[in-house]
Amino acid sequence: MKNAVGREIPDNIEGIGKVKPYEGAFKNIGAIEKTKVKVSSKLPNEDKVLSSIRESIIKCGLKDGQTISFHHHLRNGDHVLNMVLKEIDELGIKDITVAASSIFPVHQPLVEYIKKGVVTGIYANYISGPVAEAISLGLLKKPVVMQSHGGRARAIEEGDLHIDVAFIAAPTCDTYGNINGVDGRAACGSLGYAIPDAMYADKVVAITDNLVDYPACPIEISQEYVDYVVKVDSIGDPNGIVSGTTKITKDPVGLKIAKMAAQVIKASGLLKDGFSFQTGAGGTSLAVAAYLRDMMKKENIKGSFASGGVTGYIVEMFEEGLFDSIFDVQCFDLKAIESYRNDKRHQGMSASMYGNPHNKGCVVNNLDVMILGATEIDTDFNVNVTTGSNGIIMGGSGGHNDTAAGSKLSIVVTQLTKGRLPIVVDKVTTVTTPGETIDVLVTERGIAVNPNRKDLIEKLKGTNLPIVTIDELKKTAEELTGVPEKVEFDDKIVGVVEYRDGTIIDVLKKVK
Amino acid sequence: MKLRRSMLFMPGNNPGMLQNAGILGADSVILDLEDAVALTEKDSARILVRNAIKTLRFYNSEIVVRVNPLSTEFGYEDVKEIAQVKPDAIMVPKATEEDIEGVDKILCEIEEKMGFEKGSIKLFPLIETAYGLENVYTIIEASKRVTGVLLGAEDLTNDLGIKRTKKGKEIFYARSKVATSCRALGVDAIDTPFTDLDDREAFIKDIKKAKSIGMTGKAAINPRQIDTIHDVFAPSEEEIEYAQRVLEKMEEAKRDGLGVFSLDGKMVDAPIINRAKTTIEKAKLAGLI
């Protein structure tokens, strides 16, 4: 059957089961039921600290066919996922599903465990590197389930993604399982993505390299959720966890795009007191913040909050009083961590509070403006950030489709061509974010507004901005690059792209 | 009226930069075949720039090509090849009257051969020698195609045997001379580029200085300089407001059948009205009103 973005979706997919096709961004909102949680209660004086990861796996009773989870706050510096899988392999446990909020190149050893059948299923919101390539080449037994940050929280809370054991990398943890991310050698700041895992997994193991006396302070994930604590030498490499500073692009094309995006925001009328904003850590996205910063200062505008993965640049704007508060699900650099540790108005949020469409209101619903990237965008404004031009997985939604849906104005900023390829195409290779939730595309050669946003088109008419149709942008791109040949795929389905509400918005095929 | 506040140099041998030349917001782009291009790449750059003009869109930017000095073996070859794809203008380095006349003649021939409108390809003498500076007036007069002059202070100070400084005292005379000759003959006077990309404050001062002497625009060597140049050359809010009041008052006076009128206690005459009209037009083109 075809879903609401015109993608052919099978009724049943082997390894997934019956499929519910995507029906529209807001078709599956309303009453839902949360899942029950199994809890093994503790007696007074019972010790939670175990001697090794292996002991924790045995104590949790992990069996063939079960699901384990990880968070990705340690990003490409993470040691925990690899350490846990090594032990699982050595214990002879097979057919494991890994539900990691993201997977990075550092997780290359996972490829071997996939080949050996130790790991047969993967859930993730973002995958890059060798694991992504292995999946696209068809090595994983079951199709990968690509979720969004909000969608993963939803799936865990509703029981669609049942976690048997959550292994939580803990930059700091006390002997009774109270965790924070702000102290320790591998400090990463907010632990927002780990919170649903801690709350809903049958068993929770905190793995730390900074075991402190009870009680830890501050506490982000508390003892009431943690079964066991394991001390290891190192949970991660600080160099891979955070960058020293995040930088604004110096590329004149990127700056031009950013400047126009800021002008679109101004013209939209949303840039006024109470303004709320989120942008990525990429050079162009961050440059939008730089232009907004000047505008806000000049016009003395005080925003309400900035949210998301947080960079030092956003913290600087917050410290200058341009935003009242920050909602932080993940810190991208040391400055963000420091601010999160020291300033009460720099608040943490869980993945669910951030983007889960099935709670009683997530933060993205309060966002005025979201700046997004795109690998491809089609003439229906559907965006792909999941697969690259060669058809191989190279990313995923992360918060892309959550923020696009929630924000009042979602703006995609991208160069019109990249590496001799057009970015605006007829049909994107993979739909990550439906076009109905994308309002504007800003490129260096023109700005296209979603025809559904008639109000915005009217507002932009009164400006000097180069407003064109998305078809014209596609034509301009093709004038420069020609029309590339389509990537050829095998019929085998290697993954599904789950929209934030749990419906299937696209499938991923094996590359030839 | 077309604004020519900024003229951005782009190396003629860099396809990636040529592709984006027209989207950076410069009033003019100068596709450079001279200093930016090594001797071994002169012919390939010429072909690249020719094809870029033929196939790429430059949007609202005027296309100017800086050819090699006519005294070199490349100069006239550049002119002959590039003129066939009809750039808006050709910039002639180390220009003399003879050079301008020589290029004018070739352009006449090519325009006729290609069926282009006669005189449609304009000329920009680059004043960067002591001779050129002392004769800038007659160099402009050498062809009707001359639409502006670029002052090149690096080569000029070299020719004068003096040191080029950030404060630019040494080019005060050159700026004044170029600006006055240009104003006298009704062409644009474009100031020499500022090379320290990191010293924004000194850059702003430098543009303001050039503007105060009568230069009408400035060359840029990096796209990041464009906005700053436009900001300084844009009419200020006070200038715009004053111009609007002048024009309103003029309309009022017309309705009342008055030939002359006063504003803020001062007589307003034709030069003030003309300046007000120019200010408003510039402000409109710059998107300020």
Q: Give the model's pLDDT for residue A245.
A: 64
Q: Which residue of B has its CA nearest to A445?
A: B23
Judge if A202 and A326 occupy the same domain. Answer: no
Bridge partners, residue B81, by sequence: none
A251 touches chain B (CB under 8 A): no
In this prediction, residues A40-67 reach a mean pLDDT of 97
Inter-chain touch A255–B287, beta carbons under 8 Å:
no
The per-residue pLDDT for range B50-71, each reduced to its tens digit, is: 999 999 999 999 999 999 999 9
Inter-chain touch A256–B24, beta carbons under 8 Å:
yes
CATH number among 3.20.20.60, 1.50.10.10, 3.30.70.20, 3.40.50.970, domain B6-233: 3.20.20.60
Judge if A379 and A449 occupy the same domain. Answer: yes
Q: Give the model's pLDDT for residue A419.
A: 83
State the pLDDT confidence band at B287, using cuts at 50, 70 and 90.
confident
Q: Which residue of A has its CA nearest to B225?
A: A252
Inter-chain touch B224–A253, beta carbons under 8 Å:
no
Chain A neighbors of B57, CB-CB under 8 A: 445, 476, 479
The per-residue pLDDT for range B154-184, each reduced to its tens digit, is: 999 999 999 999 999 999 999 999 999 999 9
- Boundary (domain end) residue, out of A182, A208, A241: A241
The per-residue pLDDT for range A74-120, each reduced to its tens digit, is: 999 999 999 999 999 999 999 999 999 999 999 999 999 999 999 99
The residue ranges of every structural domain in chain B are 6-233, 237-285
Chain B neighbors of A476, CB-CB under 8 A: 57
Inter-chain touch B20–A476, beta carbons under 8 Å:
no
Q: Give the model's pLDDT for residue B259.
A: 75
Judge if A290 and A350 occupy the same domain. Answer: yes
Inter-chain touch A256–B224, beta carbons under 8 Å:
no
Maximal C-alpha separation, chain A:
73
Q: Which residue of B has its CA nearest to A249?
A: B224
Q: Is residue A36 part of a domain?
A: no
Q: Is residue A456 part of a domain?
A: yes
Judge if A65 and A86 occupy the same domain. Answer: yes
The per-residue pLDDT for range B41-52, each reduced to its tens digit, is: 999 999 999 999
A298 touches chain B (CB under 8 A): no
Give me the percent of chain B exceeding a pLDDT of 70.
Answer: 100
Instruction: Name the strand (E) or helix (H) holding A67.
Output: strand A67-70
Q: Is residue A371 part of a domain?
A: yes
Q: Which residue of A has its CA nearest to B226?
A: A252
Judge if A265 and A221 occupy the same domain. Answer: no
Judge if A218 and A279 occupy the same domain. Answer: no
Give me the percent of chain B exceeding a pLDDT of 90.
Answer: 83
Domain of A443, CATH number, reads 3.40.1080.10
- Boundary (domain end) residue, out of A192, A210, A241: A241
Mutate to test the interface with B, among A266, A418, A421, A445 (most CBs of B within 10 A): A445
Inter-chain touch A252–B20, beta carbons under 8 Å:
yes
Give me the percent of chain A exceeding a pLDDT of 90.
Answer: 94
Q: Is residue A128 part of a domain?
A: yes
Inter-chain touch B19–A480, beta carbons under 8 Å:
yes
Q: Is residue A493 part of a domain?
A: no
Q: Is residue A13 part of a domain?
A: no
The model's pTM: 0.92
- Boundary (domain end) residue, out of A187, A222, A241: A241
Chain A neighbors of B222, CB-CB under 8 A: 252
Judge if A136 and A259 occupy the same domain. Answer: no
Judge if A297 and A359 occupy the same domain. Answer: yes
Inter-chain touch B24–A252, beta carbons under 8 Å:
yes
Q: Is residue A434 part of a domain?
A: yes
A418 touches chain B (CB under 8 A): no
Chain B neighbors of A467, CB-CB under 8 A: none
The per-residue pLDDT for range A321-354, each reduced to its tens digit, is: 999 999 999 999 999 999 999 999 999 999 999 9
What count of other Cβ atoms lies within 10 Å of the Cβ of residue B158?
Answer: 14
Chain A neighbors of B287, CB-CB under 8 A: 464
A255 touches chain B (CB under 8 A): yes
pLDDT at B1 over 70: no
A467 touches chain B (CB under 8 A): no
In this prediction, residues B148-157 reach a mean pLDDT of 97
Judge if A276 and A196 occupy the same domain. Answer: no
3-state class (DSSP) for residue A346? strand
The per-residue pLDDT for range A144-181, each reduced to its tens digit, is: 999 999 999 999 999 999 999 999 999 999 999 999 99
Q: How far is A427 from chain B (nearest CA, A)?
A: 25
Inter-chain touch B23–A444, beta carbons under 8 Å:
yes
Q: How far is A292 from chain B (nearest CA, A)?
A: 16
State the pLDDT confidence band at A242, using cuts at 50, 70 and 90.
confident
Q: Give the model's pLDDT for residue B286.
A: 79
State the pLDDT confidence band at A248, using cuts at 50, 70 and 90.
confident
What dihedral do alpha carbons B20, B23, B25, B31 form, nearest 10°? 40
Inter-chain touch B24–A464, beta carbons under 8 Å:
no
Say whether the ipTM exceeds 0.90. Answer: no
Judge if A302 and A443 occupy the same domain. Answer: yes
Q: Give the model's pLDDT for residue A244.
A: 63
Inter-chain touch B23–A480, beta carbons under 8 Å:
no
Chain B neighbors of A256, CB-CB under 8 A: 23-25, 223
Q: Which residue of B has its CA nearest to A252?
A: B223
Domain count for chain A: 2
State the pLDDT confidence band at A283, using cuts at 50, 70 and 90.
confident
Range of the domain at A118: 48-241
Q: Which residue of A has its CA nearest to B285?
A: A464
A480 touches chain B (CB under 8 A): yes
In this prediction, residues A379-407 reach a mean pLDDT of 97
Q: Is residue A397 part of a domain?
A: yes
Judge if A313 and A421 occupy the same domain. Answer: yes
In this prediction, residues B83-89 reach a mean pLDDT of 98
pLDDT at A198 over 90: yes
A253 touches chain B (CB under 8 A): yes
Closest to B6 in 3D by CA, of B215, B272, B212: B215
Pick the most confident of A385-394, B255-264, B280-289. A385-394
Judge if A294 and A233 occupy the same domain. Answer: no
How many A/B residue pairs have CB atoms within 8 Å?
Answer: 25
